[in-house]
A = this chain, B = another copy of it.
Amino acid sequence: MIYPEPLENLINSLEKFPGIGQKNAERLALAILDFKDEEVEKLIKSLGDVKTKIERCQICGHLSVGNICNICSNQSRDHNLICVTEDSKSVFSFEKAGSFNGVYHVLNGLISPKDNIGPENINLDSLFKRVDTLTNPELILALKSTVEGETTTLYIKKRFEKKNVAISRLSYGIPMGAEIDYLDIITLDKALEDRKKIS
């Protein structure tokens, strides 16, 4: 055995994280030796807490401490305006941006026939039931522009076709500050197609 046993075990555990290879795991494991005792204790406590205390919100599917997440239980938000996202990471991004005052619905996946993921395998049913209870619902589909994202967008659009639900998707275009000559041609085509009249 090349590493002292506790280090070997820690490296093996760290290698289970996505994107952490052996060299990186070694680097992180050795960093622990320079941590203060209370820092290691904090890390250990928070690891346990994340695993035991975090569940899915019963309304929107977002990560939550308790049955209902902070966002769904916040009465100052617009509960008729629902932003549909693939995962909780997207919710964190919108919340960091800070300008959205509606609520979310986290699908925890996208429809993907090639991976055998159908509409029944993601958190869609609860979205349909939820929207049916609202009087003046509006959906913003914030799904990525891949085959899976487009398929899911189309499926949701079709489901609400004959109902009184306003549905929009995020705009495609040039990221703010991006150099136009570095953009891929599909984005550039989309930006041209969706051009916005300014005078």
Please choose the segment from A44-52, A127-135, A169-177 that sits at the chain B interface, where 4 or more of its residues have CB less than 8 A away: A44-52
Q: Which residues of B contact A16 (CB under 8 A)?
A: 35, 39, 43
Cβ of A64 to closest chain B Cβ, rounded Å: 6
Q: Is A19 on the interface with B (CB-CB < 8 A)?
A: yes
In the complex, the answer to whether B48 meets A92 with C-beta atoms within 8 Å is: no
Nearest residue, chain B, Cβ from A24: B19
Inter-chain contacts of A28 with B (CB < 8 A): 17, 20
Is the C-beta of A121 less than 8 angstroms from some C-beta in chain B?
no
* Identical subunits present: 2
Q: How far is the CB of A142 from chain B (nearest CB, A)?
A: 16
The 8 Å CB contact of A89, one of B12, B19, B26, B53, is: B26
Minimum CB–CB distance from A27 to chain B (whole Å) comes to 7
Q: Is the CB of A53 within 8 A of B96?
A: no
- Whether, in the assembled complex, A167 has its beta carbon less than 8 Å from a beta carbon of chain B, the answer is no
Query: Which residues on B sit within 8 Å (CB–CB) of A42?
Result: 9, 13
In the assembled complex, the Cα of A89 lies from the Cα of B1 at a distance in Å of 14
Say whether A50 contacts B63, CB under 8 Å.
no
* Interface pair B88/A10, CB less than 8 Å apart: no
Contact yes or no, A10 B40, CB < 8 A: no
Which residues of chain B have C-beta atoms less than 8 A from A27's C-beta?
A: 18-19
Decide if A33 is an interface residue (CB 8 Å cutoff).
yes
Instruction: Find the B residue at minimum CB distance from A22.
Output: B96
Instruction: Give every chain B residue within 8 A of A178 (Cβ-Cβ).
Output: none
- Is A50 a contact of B19 with CB atoms below 8 Å? no
**Which residue of chain B has the shortest Cβ distance to A3 in the bound complex?**
B92
Find out whether the CB atom of A49 lies under 8 angstroms from the CB atom of B6: yes
Can you pick out 7 interface pairs between chain A and chain B where the beta carbons lie within 8 Å of each other? A2-B92, A6-B49, A7-B63, A10-B46, A16-B39, A20-B28, A40-B47
